[in-house]
Amino acid sequence: MTGKRIKQIMALCLILAQLLCLPLATGAEETVLRVGSRGPEVLQVKQRLRDLGYYQGDSSFTKNYTEDTAGVVRSFQRENGLPETGEVDALTWEMLFSEDAKKAPRPTMPPLETPGPTPVPDWPERDADGFLAAEGEYFSENDEEGLWIYLGKDLQIVITRRQDSAIPLIWFETEIRTRNGEGFRTAMTDPGRPGKKYRYPYDISRDEKFVLSFSDDFYANRMDTKETVGIIIREGQILSKNTNRKTGHHLPNLDMMAQFPDGTLRVYECNEITAEELQQQGARNVFSFGPILLRDGEINDLLYTYYRSIEPRHALGMMEPNHYLLISVQGRTDGSKGTNLQRVAEIMQARGVQQALNLDGGNTMALVFRGRMLNKLAVYKKKKFVRTVTSMIGIGYTENQGD
């Protein structure tokens, strides 16, 4: 091939590259991507825009730069103070892949009503940390005002009922403090046959003599129906190792929360760690439902796109080791429809929660104090009921069970 012919071919390739807006040998920073462009750089741009929240929902990307792509790019440029050209020039590319790139604005929830003053109980003598100073235990129950309290030597529980009549929404905020090894424990109706013996949550709580108990991840039902169960550890024993290969936005997505003897709760994505590794690290219990709501104080980005349905909700979180917050959202009733997971995460974040996991909600949601369920029965398919379960999470021990 003659030198002249080689030059002609190179010139033709250069023209075609410019027409297709493909990167030249000098690198992607000199590329201008616009409608009609095609190639791996287009796919890379789309994936980065998705990571920043500019693409919503399930996005199955192609390598084609379309009018839709240009619109998404304009949204990114608007939020980041760039000219809204809809094209990815060198300046847009640099900002897009920099640490300073701003995420897409998140959907906002209408603010909740300012809660009224919490009634002040007639406290017994307490020590410097707020635990009961004397031996024994202390109860205070005020159904009308929505305040339930337990104090012991190593356990404090304060349950406050909140509401917003405009939505309408009723939820319970349960603040738990522990010390000296007091921690959550689990109860199973039939440890040898998970998923075979269903009972009402308040009956399980009374038999176990829990001070406080609440519904968990409903894992035994998944065992019984041969579904993917998730990583499950109960009282140090591995009950299930099989989990999802990758995290997603289905419910449950089998993200998990591990409880450790030092009072720490940690959240993990479903495929982030194995059951054996958690057991070796000393995990006492591992609950698998999900999604993660908060990790290191940050709300899970998935909640701004998915899990938007209005339902009864249940979530457990940790502010710091031995200091926890349980959110129990009443739903499917005339006085409280329920809420989405973004709202739950925002309530927890405002209270200083650092790690939080969504537990099984719907008609499984049960908040039981001294053997008495505080939330009202939810309605599902025209029936009012609370679901029977095979396991519960609880804390404390008392012979003094309520009516």
pLDDT at 11: 46
Q: Which of 19-28, 108-117, 196-205, 207-216 has the lowest mean pLDDT?
A: 19-28
Give backbone dihedrals phi and psi of 376, rounded to 5 degrees, phi first.
Answer: -80, 155
pLDDT at 21: 43
Provide the whole-model pTM.
0.85
| CA-based radius of gyration for the chain | 27
pLDDT at 1: 53
Other CB atoms closer than 10 Å to residue 62's CB: what's the count? 11
Does residue 4 carry a pLDDT above 90? Answer: no
Q: Directed axis angle between helix 40-51 and helix 67-79, to 10°?
A: 50
Contact 322, 265 (CB under 8 A): no
pLDDT band (50, 70, 90) for residue 176:
very high
Does residue 14 carry a pLDDT above 70? Answer: no
Average pLDDT over residues 170-186: 98
Does residue 6 carry a pLDDT above 60? Answer: no
Does residue 87 carry a pLDDT above 50? Answer: yes
Cα→Cα distances 324→99, 175, 313, 383, Å: 33, 6, 17, 33
Residue 124 tokens read as 């017994």
Considering the chain, tell me which residue range(s) the CATH 1.10.101.10 domain(s) occupy. Answer: 3-96
Run of H or E including 193:
none
Give backbone dihedrals phi and psi of 191, rounded to 5 degrees, phi first.
Answer: -55, -30
pLDDT at 2: 53
Omega before 291 within 30 of 0, i.e. cis: yes
pLDDT band (50, 70, 90) for residue 247:
confident
Contact 211, 370 (CB under 8 A): yes
Contact 99, 50 (CB under 8 A): no
pLDDT at 115: 83
Give backbone dihedrals phi and psi of 160, rounded to 5 degrees, phi first.
Answer: -120, 130
CA atoms of 385 and 211, how far apart (whole Å): 23
Residue 175 tokens read as 């603040």
Percent of the residues in the chain that have a pLDDT greater than 70, as a whole number? 91
- Decide which of 391 and 20 is more confident: 391
Contact 283, 259 (CB under 8 A): yes
Sign of CA dihedral 142, 351, 375, 136: negative
Q: Which CATH number fits domain 3-96: 3.10.20.340, 3.30.360.10, 1.10.10.10, 1.10.101.10?
A: 1.10.101.10
Q: What are 88's strand-pairing partners?
A: 33
pLDDT at 15: 41
